[in-house]
């Protein structure tokens, strides 16, 4: 009898250990409840990108910011009348693309009311927007996420990696989400598209150690170029994170990084760790980058997801159901 109980305990234990994060997600989750869900998201996303070519970078960043706070539950989409939601946190004030997600959700609701989560729509739209230039999906998005009901400004401040973080801080941030150094280096490659505000890296140009100095690890000519675009104390101007290639998803980010042309301190931090630096060298090869990005995005998209009966399916992405 004791042996049977022990064996049963071991079976349950190994089953739990074998369950990966987000294991409740699956391919074509809406196949029987909203068969056109993923097609509608793709079609509508393509329309929005055609009108705004900068949207892929915006949606990719939004998806990342969503997953790193309370998991991929669409909580970053929620509004707050008291300005205390995630989107009201300083790191999220520059997020945009919410209108596109709301519009895509409306189209899905017209066909399948109350079925498809905003969390899934954001995950799919981020993938579909980046994939347009390749005419094929760049990574697999498993579905079945449900929407969270809580969105707190304090949690965004605590959980989002800062652009001025050092390597240890970045590593700890990713580890807390079940991701590793490999994922850190790979997902940083998302900086190959989009822009960054001058205020987020101006200390590297004008006051790196508090003595009016420049970050010595930043390529000198690149620094002069940035200074010509970002006057001291400029809080509104943006520059390309991947110079001359901010609309093209490629591996150019790593080539620039290895030339000490990473825009943020958090980019440069990758070169301070031997393992991370070696991975960056390998990812210069675009085929390798795409392969690894595909896997890391799948892992990120499964962070702390709500499934089953947890959470809800919002009818509007910007507010919880009444």
Binding residues: 66, 69, 71, 73, 75, 86, 161, 191-192, 242, 250
Angle CA 308–310–312, to nearest 5 = 100
Nearest CA-CA partner of 76 in 153, 143, 141: 153
HEC string of the chain?
CHHHHHHHHHHHHHHHHHCCCCCCCECCCCCCCCCCHHHHHHHHHHHHHHHCCCHHHHHHHHHHHHHCCCCCCCHHHCCCCCCCCHHHCHHHCCCCCHHHHHHHHHHHHHHCCCCCCHHHHHHHHHHHHHHHHHCCCCCCCCECCEECCCCCHHHHHHHCCCCCCCHHHHHHHHHCCCCCHHHHHHHHHHHHCCEEEHHHCHHHHHCCCCCCCCCCCCCHHHHHHHHHHCCCCCCCCEEECCCCCCCCCCCHHHHHHHCCCCCCHHHHHHHHCHHHHHHHHHCCCHHHHHHHHHHHHHHHCCCCCECCCCCECCCECCECCC
Q: What is the dihedral of CA 189, 190, 191, 196, to 10 degrees?
A: -160
Q: Which residue has the tokens 């399948």?
A: 112
Nearest CA-CA partner of 287 in 233, 257, 250: 250
- Write out the binding residues for substrate: 161
- Write out the binding residues for heme b: 191
- List residues with catalytic annotation: 65
């Amino acid at each position: 009898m004791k042996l049977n109980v022990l064996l049963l305990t071991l079976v349950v234990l190994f089953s739990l250990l074998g369950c990966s994060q987000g294991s409740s997600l699956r391919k074509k989750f809406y196949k029987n409840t909203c068969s056109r869900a993923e097609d509608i998201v793709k079609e509508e996303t393509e329309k929005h990108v055609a009108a705004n070519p900068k949207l892929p970078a915006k949606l990719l960043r939004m998806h990342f910011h969503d997953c790193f706070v309370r998991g991929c539950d669409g909580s970053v989409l929620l509004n707050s009348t008291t300005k205390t939601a995630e989107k009201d946190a300083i790191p999220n004030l520059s997020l945009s693309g919410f209108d596109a997600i709301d519009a895509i959700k409306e189209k899905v609701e017209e066909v399948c009311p109350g079925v498809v989560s905003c969390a899934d729509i954001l995950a799919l739209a981020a993938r579909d927007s980046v994939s347009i230039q390749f005419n094929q999906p760049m990574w697999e998005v498993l579905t079945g996420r449900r929407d969270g009901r809580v969105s707190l400004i304090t949690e965004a401040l605590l959980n989002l990696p800062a652009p001025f973080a050092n390597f240890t801080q970045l590593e700890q941030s990713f580890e807390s989400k079940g991701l590793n150094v490999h994922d850190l280096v790979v997902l940083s490659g998302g900086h190959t598209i989009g822009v960054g505000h001058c205020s987020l890296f101006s200390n590297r140009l004008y006051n790196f150690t508090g003595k009016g100095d420049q970050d010595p690890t930043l390529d000198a000519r690149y620094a002069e170029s940035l200074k010509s675009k970002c006057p001291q104390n400029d809080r509104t101007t943006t520059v390309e994170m991947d110079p001359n290639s901010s609309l093209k998803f490629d591996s150019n980010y790593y080539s620039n990084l290895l030339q000490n042309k990473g825009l943020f301190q958090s980019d440069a931090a990758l070169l301070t760790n031997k393992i991370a630096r070696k991975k960056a060298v390998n990812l210069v090869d675009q085929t390798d980058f795409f392969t690894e990005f595909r896997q890391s995005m799948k892992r990120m998209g499964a962070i702390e997801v709500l499934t089953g009966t947890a959470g809800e399916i919002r009818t509007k992405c910007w507010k919880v159901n009444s």
